[in-house]
Structure 1
Amino acid sequence: MAPAKGRRTSLASLASAVGEHSPVDERTPRPAGPPTKAVLKDLVANPRNPRRDLGDLTDLASIKTHQLQPALVVTRAAYLALFPDDAEDVGAARWVVINGCRRLAAAAKYGCAELEFVVKDEVAHDRISLLTAAIDENIGRRDFDVLEEAEAVDRLVAECGTAGEAARRLNRTEGWVSQRRALLKLAPELQTALREGELAVRLARSLAQVPREDQVAAWQAAQERDSGKQDQPQDSAVPRRDPKTQPASAPHITKALRRFEPNPGVLAQALRDYLAPAQLAELADELITDRR
């Protein structure tokens, strides 16, 4: 029976579909010499993949007829040299997929006989390099759970020893790393709300600075304040600024920022998300210019 369109797929649910129990034909021959393709039973998804939920795979349904990008794998020996405790998860697979776990899952789901890949054992030079490669592929993807991202960054910090080194490996700022890790301090109720899209990430970062026992009450208070502002009648005697014809002034922006009480790292990340590179460069010049 064909899989339901739009259904999300987890790594756990695919454990019995990839490897020794792969539903595709295992008799497909591999080309001679260093392989660029393999039948699915010879491949296994990275046990250290930061993504537990692979999301909706329907965007990869075309993999049955053509694969746009090869997966990146390391050999079984290279992987187990770093993570010997994962031997049971790796099983009898010859290669471990580091980048391309969704492609591997889609190949199993849609009946693709083989998966194209490149072998790069240098990615398994050390544990930090392999974890960084796995995290870097997923950062910034819309369907990557923000808390899974935070957990992955936290594990990398533990492996590196410092947040600064983890930030350097990911080509991010130390503030960005700290912001992601702060989300792990949220109360369970707020983590659930964040995952379900009921709590905005920017507000979650602020709430993470509040003692855990007070976070839910702080969130409820913020919701009530927002609700009160929406219900407040407009004062017709006070002219409203038209954003199309009257750009916000510095006082307007300052007043808006005070609502969120951002720390410098949060503000910097927000500006990077909002401004184009050229605008960021212009802003940096303005900030360092002595205007006294």
Structure 2
Amino acid sequence: MARGTTRRSLAELTESIGDKSPVDGKTAALQPRTPTTAPLSHLVANPRNPRRDIGDLSDLASIKDRQLQSALVVSREAYLKLWPEDLDAIEDALWVVINGCRRLEAARKYGRVELDIVVKNEVASDRVSLLTAAIDENIGRRDFDVIEEAEAVERLVAECGGRASEAAKRLNRTEGWVSQRRSLLKLAPELQEALRAGELAVRVARGLAQVPWEEQVARWHAEQENAGKKQEGVEAPKPGPKLRPASAPRIVKALSRFEPEPAILAEALRDYLDAGQLTQLVSALQATR
């Protein structure tokens, strides 16, 4: 030992050298740490994401300065083991975003250079697990297209060997819910678009899905027409205190005397109708001239 030096413990030596310590022949390169952040260039959105349209990202504009929730990712290798045919979609990315695709797109749009991530390759243990994780993030969101949701549920049922009960179990939903969502795919294209646009309620769509495909649109139009008539009936004026039906005989009597004495009819009408109805009557009479 050189003069003037002191003996140092193995722990102290390892600490002083840091991650490049050759102790036990191990290096940091052989023991990579799981990353908690990744540059956007290393990330790609899940090609099997049930959402085709990420929607309006303005609610995520603050991601430029802060990210409130990490994105869940799996490694490139873990993903391609399940879907090797997606190699072109993955390109050179190291991580595939399973939950957080909107955050990824918002980061790109608003100028964030990296994203906080959580690596969970166990999510990619099989296709069913990965699809379930992707669907789970979106189900129940108001901006999630209900037809896209139905398509995602259909894919999950297929991956479960066609067993709707297994898909329901994975999603923590009832088998009836799964069946109802799948039934929406039986709708005619026009009705699917109406459903997407919010013009057709899901509960009505489920009923129409049971009708033969070629009859669905006609049935929907008929139901709309009937609903419109009912609505008109609800909004039509109903007899009430202001109408004073007991004075109706005065109008009949006044009509019999109308030609010589129109003022009598006017007085009877003023007694029978309220102010709003009188205004409507005047407008109607003027329109007939």
- TM-score, normalized by length of structure 1? 0.69
What is the CA–CA distance in structure 2 between the aligned matches of 1:102 and 1:191, rounded to whole Å? 24
Residues in 2 aligned to 1:147 and 1:102: alpha-carbon distance in whole angstroms:
19
Aligned position for 1:75: 75
- Higher-Rg structure is 2
The one of 236, 239, 261 aligned to 1:236: 239
Residue 6 of structure 2 corresponds to none
- Look up the SS of the partner of 1:116 in the other structure: strand
DSSP-derived class of the 1:68 partner = coil
List 4+ stretches of structure 1 deviating above 4 A. Answer: none
Pairwise CA distance, 1:235 = 4.4
CA deviation after TM superposition for structure 1 residue 218, in Å: 0.6
Q: Write the distance in 1 (CA, Å) between the matches of 2:86 and 2:180.
A: 30
CA distance in 1: counterparts of 2:33 and 2:85, whole angstroms: 31
Task: Tell me the CA shift for residue 230 of structure 1.
Answer: 1.3
Instruction: State how far apart, in whole Å, the 2-side matches of 1:43 and 1:132 are.
Output: 20
Report SS of the residue matched to 1:69: coil
Shift of 1:236: 3.5
SS of residue in 2 equivalent to 1:55 = coil
Query: Which residue in 2 is equivalent to 1:124?
Result: 124
Equivalent position of 1:142 in the other structure:
142
CA contact (8 A) 2:157 2:167 kept: yes
Could you tell which deviates more after superposition, 226-235 or 147-156?
226-235
1:231-286 Cα distance to aligned partner (Å, 9 max, x none)? 1235437xxxxxxxxxxxxxxxxxxxxxxxxxxxxxxxxxxxxxxxxxxxxxxxxx
Distance 2:81 2:239 in 1: 71
Please tell me whether residue 225 in structure 1 is matched to residue 230 in structure 2.
no
Distance 2:45 2:221 in 1: 41
Cross-structure match for 1:280: none
- TM-superposition CA deviations, 1:184-219 (whole Å, max 9, x none): 000011011111111111111111111110000110
Secondary structure at 2:55's aligned position in 1?
strand
Counterpart of 2:188 in structure 1 is 187
Alpha-carbon distance in 2 for matches of 1:236, 1:157: 56
Report deviation, 1:68. Answer: 0.1
- Give the Cα–Cα distance (whole angstroms) in 1 for the partners of residues 38 and 80 of structure 2: 20
Which residue number corresponds to residue 115 of structure 1?
115
Residue of structure 2 in register with 1:43 after alignment: 43
- What are the equivalent positions in structure 2 for 1:51-62 lying under 5 Å apart? 51-62=51-62
Q: Distance in 2 between matches of 1:84 and 1:236?
A: 72
Structure 2 spans left out of the alignment, 5+ residues: 1-31, 241-289
Q: Secondary structure of 1:102's match?
A: helix
User: What are the within-5 Å matches in structure 2 for residues 125-274 of structure 1?
Assistant: 125-161=125-161, 162-232=163-233, 233=236, 235-236=238-239
- Root-mean-square deviation (Å): 1.1
* 2:34–2:119 Cα contact (<8 Å) kept: no
C-alpha distance in 2, partners of 1:190/1:119? 40
Alignment partner of 1:97: what SS?
strand
* Secondary structure at 1:49 match in 2: coil
CA distance in 2, matches of 1:99, 1:59: 17
Cα distance in 2 for partners of 1:128, 1:193 equals 30
Return the offset for 1:35: 1.4
Which residue matches 1:4? none
What letter is aligned with 1:36? T
* Displacement of 1:149: 0.1
Q: Which has the higher helix share?
A: 2
Partner of residue 258, structure 1: none
Counterpart-to-counterpart distance in 2, 1:88 and 1:80: 10
Q: Secondary structure at the match of 2:47?
A: coil
Decide whether the 8 Å contact of 2:150 with 2:182 is kept in 1. Answer: yes
Indicate the residue corresponding to 1:288 in structure 2: none
Whole-Å separation in 1 of the counterparts to 2:123 and 2:215: 43
User: Which string of whole-angstrom CA distances, capped at 9 and with x for unpartnered residues, describes residues 40-61 of structure 1?
Assistant: 0100000000000001000000
Alpha-carbon distance in 2 for matches of 1:155, 1:34: 31
Distance 1:127 1:115 in 2: 25
Amino acid across the alignment from 1:72: L
